[in-house]
Amino acid sequence: MNKLFNEIGRKFKQSSKSDKLLVSAGLVLVLGMILLGLFASFVSPYGPYEMSQSRLSPPSTEHLFGTDYLGRDILSRMAYGTRISLLVAAVAASVSLILGASLGLFSGYFGGNMDRVIGLTMDALYSFPVIVLAIMMTIMLGPGVTSTAIGVGIALTPSYYRVTRSFVLSIKERGFIEGVRAIGAGDLHIMSRHILPNALPSLAVLASFNMAEGIISVAGLGFLGLGVPQPTPEWGADLKMGRDVLAYGAWWVSVFPGLMILAMVLGVNMLSEGVNSLFKLGVRRR
């Protein structure tokens, strides 16, 4: 473990200025957001559901981000909203990671018709807009967090599949597998001990790229009104609310949720890009 940290530290010091900047800035933003979500109750001056008399009031000293049409403090809602976005996106990104990577491992390793069928399916899924898949889920399972998570998860699986499969194929090509098998290693052992660790760094970076995608999709569905039910604080849903009150000139209800999404996604993207470049992993975004 220690060796890993040393390695990471060394690579970091040797990297270019822009890479360092990306990783640092991204890390700051992401950690900030995570902390915000964890300690939302401490940071927020009010509760996220707490209504008040001052409805649709612009940003002031009492309500730094202003209030919405029910008098709820927007700053507090933004802080609590972090949780939902992070949670759903993280769940979607990780479940799809496990699914996609496993499929990729098996598919690439055993090859044959199974490989072809799975490959085609993954290609078909890959070409779908994420939003559309997520929307499809909502019609089947009803709107809400679960269908969003499942929809986004299904949409992200092909990317993990591809990366893992290409790792498997490149290792296969090096004839390395025959060697290990000759000393009696079983298939599962080969896959988990030899192939997977090579793919892990790239998969991790891919996961964080997908996190960004996930966060935007969650917010997108919330914006369409197909996400979490009211009155749960969620950035996208609050954005939708903002759109509805636009006619009253209440710009702050729209601006701040978007800024939160932007900050989060920017942070994740910066971190992913920085790490990608730093370790020369060459992971491609969708």
Partner 1 sequence: MVWVSLTAIFIVMHVIPGDPIRAMLGPKATEEMVAMMRHQLGLDKPLIAQYFDYLWNLLHGDLGTSITTRRPVSFEIALRFPTTLQLTIGGIIVAAILGIYSGIISALHENKLADHAARIYAFFVYSLPVFWLGLMFQIFFGKVLGILPIYGQLDPFIDRPRFITGMVVVDSLLAADLPAFFNSLEHMILPWLTVGLLLSASISRITRTNMIEALGEDYVVGARAKGTPENVVTYKHALRNALLPVVTLIGLQFALMLGGALLTEYVYSLPGMGSLLISAIYERDFPMTQGIIVIFSLLVGLVSLCVDITYAFLDPRIKY
Q: What is the contact surface with partner 1 in residues (CB under 8 A)?
A: 18, 120-121, 123-133, 135-142, 212, 216, 219-220, 223-226, 239, 242-243, 246, 249, 251, 254-255, 257-258, 261-262, 265-266, 269-270, 273, 286
Going by C-alpha positions, the residue among 211, 200, 261 that lies closest to residue 236 is: 261
Question: Tokens for 247?
Answer: 């006619």
**Shortest approach of partner 1 to residue 113 CB, angstroms?**
14
**Shortest approach of partner 1 to residue 201 CB, angstroms?**
22
Nearer CB in complex with partner 1: 9/129? 129
**Shortest approach of partner 1 to residue 265 CB, angstroms?**
4
Distances (CA, A) of 242 to 64, 68, 119, 144, 235: 16, 8, 42, 20, 10
- How far apart CA 159 and CA 157 sit, in angstroms, is 6
| Number of Cβ atoms within 10 Å of the Cβ of 120 | 10
**Shortest approach of partner 1 to residue 7 CB, angstroms?**
27
Nearer CB in complex with partner 1: 98/120? 120
**Shortest approach of partner 1 to residue 75 CB, angstroms?**
18
- How far apart CA 234 and CA 223 sit, in angstroms, is 9
**Shortest approach of partner 1 to residue 269 CB, angstroms?**
5
| Number of Cβ atoms within 10 Å of the Cβ of 94 | 16
Nearer CB in complex with partner 1: 206/270? 270
Nearer CB in complex with partner 1: 171/269? 269
Nearer CB in complex with partner 1: 70/224? 224
Nearer CB in complex with partner 1: 195/207? 207
Give the gyration radius of the chain's Cα atoms: 22
What letter would DSSP give residue 193?
Answer: I
Residues in the chain: 286
